[in-house]
A and B are shown apart, each in its own frame.
Chain A
């Protein structure tokens, strides 16, 4: 009787341990997946919007001084550089975490 009880408790403990580690694992992966989707959306919009903002600033300066397309082109490339800088910084902060 006592022996049976002991083995039951052992089995129970191992079951609980198993379940706990499984739960922890699945929770972690699902959280990672969701934040990965968020990260992807963030990087995509950051990339596009930075270039668009650069273009708009260039167009605005061009309109003010009537120097089309010089500043547009300059700020287009600055915008692309800024977009890559943003992505670089986001990834860098991920590595440091």
Chain B
């Protein structure tokens, strides 16, 4: 039987090599393309013919818009609404990517740390640039030295602040990656239990792990939503920190 980690293997579908760089179309990038297509189709059918009394698709699109707009209003305030396209793209991309990974025979691209880290590092860079652009370099560096602290403590506090600032993109990416990878591995392991127990005890023994598997699939769908939500809300908090440098 295949290892529970075999589902994360990257396979080249269309090999492309440009001057020693391997930029092949892999199953991971194919899954990302499908994710983007699903989002585009969802928005296309939702916004095709707009009515005052919306149809089901339009309600779904409006709900997702309202959800993100409310999140931004709560966490950043009114001036944060110009970052709505960015946060909404991130949220929908990660959410649909997570849910797409729950389909059988699909691939969960959010379970690869390099992908999540690339997204998180881009957020980190842009947030840092926004802060420097809005407040200037000196005031941005003042972010690492909290006001009203004795000078002697600053020697200790500045490195701590810098560490906690650098750890932001890493914890953002590790959280998404670890949750998705752990969940999918767990599903595969319990799926293996179902098979082995059912084969050795005339089907009866497989019932208990199968019940677990169904429950865990539900939990995994909740986690898929939750991680996209947490990712979006933390992006909002970081943008808030950049705009209102305290």
Contact = CB atoms under 8 A, between A and B. Distances in A.
Contacts, number: 60
Given A34-B222, A34-B226, A38-B230, A46 B171 contact: yes
Most buried by A among B163, B170, B178, B229: B163
B163 A53 contact: yes
B175 interface: yes
Contacts of A52: 167, 170
B230 A50 contact: no
A22 interface: no
A42 interface: yes
Provide the main secondary structure of the chain B interface.
Answer: helix
B90 interface: no
A19 B96 CA distance: 34
A82 B164 contact: yes
A97 B171 CA distance: 23
Q: Chain B: interface residue count, which band?
A: 20 to 34
Interface residues of A, number: 22
A12 interface: no
Provide the main secondary structure of the chain A interface.
Answer: helix
Interface of A: 34, 37-38, 41-42, 45-46, 48-50, 52-54, 57, 75, 78-79, 81-83, 85-86
Given A49-B167, A78-B156, 11 more contacts: A41-B230, A42-B234, A45-B178, A46-B171, A50-B171, A53-B166, A75-B163, A81-B156, A82-B161, A82-B163, A85-B164
Interface of B: 156, 159-161, 163-164, 166-167, 170-171, 174-175, 178-179, 222, 226-227, 229-230, 234
28 contacts: A34-B222, A37-B222, A37-B226, A41-B179, A41-B226, A42-B234, A46-B167, A46-B171, A48-B174, A49-B170, A49-B171, A49-B174, A50-B163, A50-B164, A53-B166, A54-B167, A57-B163, A78-B156, A78-B159, A78-B160, A78-B163, A81-B156, A81-B160, A82-B160, A82-B161, A83-B164, A85-B164, A86-B164
